[in-house]
Amino acid sequence: MDIEKRMELIGRKPTEELLTAENLRHLLEVGVPMQHYIGFEISGYIHLGTGLMAGAKIADLQKAGIKTRIFLADWHSWINDKLGGDLEVIQKVALSYFKEGMKQSIKVMGGDPDKVEFVLASEILEKGDYWQTVIDISKNVTLARMMRSITIMGRQMGEAIDFAKLIYPAMQVADIYYQGVTIAHAGMDQRKAHVIAIEVAQKLKYHALEWKGEKLKPVALHHHLLLGLQEPPVWPIESEEQFKELKTQMKMSKSKPYSAVFIHDTPEEIKQKLRKAFCPAREVRYNPVLDWAEYIIFREEPTEFTIHRPAKFGGDVTYTTIEELKRDFAEGKLHPLDLKNAVAEYLIELLKPVRDYFERNPEPLELMREIKITR
């Protein structure tokens, strides 16, 4: 496949940012063996943001001929007090519910789960020279910057934390170098770790990213953060600036279950959640239902998305691009309830193989239900 096509696949929706596209092109041109990774803490249920956005991009990367890897961040989850901070429970969930759930998510988004490598963080952290990389990185980053970076753990800047949480950002950067990652992938909320990774690239003494004598910078690929279903904390949102400030509170998050649809939700749960969703008429900008339509349904365009309506409300209507859908919605030609119902129907169908899987293999989900989910 030529480089243009590969660039297009890697850069298309849900990719929101590539740091940088020029560096990616360079790496593809010089022919470095490309290795992707995305890391996850192991905690609650997998929601559409995690499962489908990451799954879609993994599928694209595979099509672009890139080796994909999911990093099960068990130690990081322990540090961040997930699942009661019990490493054994975390590992059990990582290798059962989480691994299987992610495999199913990748499959429904068109990827090949058998080609994704799953690596448990403890497999590499237990090697002595991993810590050499952590120190090497830490020597090149100020304490103030590490303190600002704790947002990558879902923590607020200035929040009282134990000391282990300050080691976490350096570990996340070390994970990239230690695994020889050329494409570090995550949602937009992880960019602080990746910017550090890019900045230290030329300074590392151990496990730098090297190819034919050249020290390379990894590429950071950030996917769009799907909005949560809840009403924003401030409404109306007056500007893009204000939206940026509110974004982390507006994203779908597993610690706010009412904000999320989970990959194993029943059809009735999906319908109910969407019925309650925030979806103001004619509002096309900060509208989670349209956001989902854009990033899940219209990820590839043109596509056919039909909204079924009784004849008295205009009858069935089919859209092929998100722009057409948004235009009708903005003009009041499409009612929020009709949109919600159609998006719910689409998701019910899309997620059917995931539900079927967990019906045939209920143990991983049962294990999750038994565990008291913390954070």
Ligand X SMILES: N[C@@H](Cc1ccc(O)cc1)C(=O)O
Binding site for ligand X (CB under 6 A): 39-41, 71, 73, 76, 152-154, 172, 175, 190
Q: Indicate the residue among 138 and 190 with the shorter CB distance to ligand X.
A: 190
Confirm or reject binding of residue 187 to ligand ATP (CB under 6 A). yes
Q: Is the Cβ–Cβ distance between 116 and 68 less than 8 Å? A: yes
Per CB under 6 A, the segment of 49-57, 100-108, 276-284, 337-345 that binds ligand ATP is 49-57
Tell me the closest approach of the beta carbon of residue 133 to ligand X, in angstroms.
12
Q: Is the Cβ–Cβ distance between 279 and 286 less than 8 Å? A: no
Q: Is the Cβ–Cβ distance between 358 and 367 less than 8 Å? A: no
Please report, as residue ranges, which positions from 236 to 295 form the binding site for ligand ATP (by CB under 6 A): 251-255
Two tokens, residue 291? 């956001």
CB-CB neighbours of 375 under 10 Å = 16
The residue number whose beta carbon is nearest to ligand X equals: 39
Size of the site for ligand ATP (CB under 6 A): 20
Among 15, 37, 41, 62, binds ligand ATP (CB under 6 A): 41
Residue 124 amino acid letter: I
Q: Indicate the residue among 28 and 368 with the shorter CB distance to ligand ATP.
A: 368
Q: Is the Cβ–Cβ distance between 206 and 129 less than 8 Å? A: yes
Round to whole Å and give the CA distance between 58 and 149.
25
Per CB under 6 A, the segment of 25-33, 158-166, 187-195, 344-352 that binds ligand ATP is 187-195
The residue count of the chain comes to 375
190 marked among binding-site residues: yes
Round to whole Å and give the CA distance between 85 and 250.
26
Among 15, 23, 35, 43, binds ligand ATP (CB under 6 A): 43
Confirm or reject binding of residue 72 to ligand ATP (CB under 6 A). no
Angle at CA of residue 100, ends 98 and 102, nearest 5°: 65
Tell me the closest approach of the beta carbon of residue 23 to ligand X, in angstroms.
20
Helix (H) or strand (E) holding 344: helix 336-350
Q: For residue 249, what are the contacts with CB-CB under 8 A and spacing of at least 6?
A: 232, 233
Q: For residue 16, what are the contacts with CB-CB under 8 A and spacing of at least 6?
A: 188, 222, 223, 224
Q: Choose from ligand X, ligand ATP, none: what does 175 bind? Cβ within 5-8 Å by kind.
A: ligand X
Q: Choose from ligand ATP, ligand X, none: what does 53 bind? Cβ within 5-8 Å by kind.
A: ligand ATP
Instruction: Return binding residues.
Output: 37, 168, 172, 175, 190, 254
| Interaction site with ligand ATP (CB under 6 A) | 40-41, 43, 47, 49-50, 53, 154, 186-187, 189-190, 225-226, 251-255, 375
Instruction: Return binding residues for ATP.
Output: 254
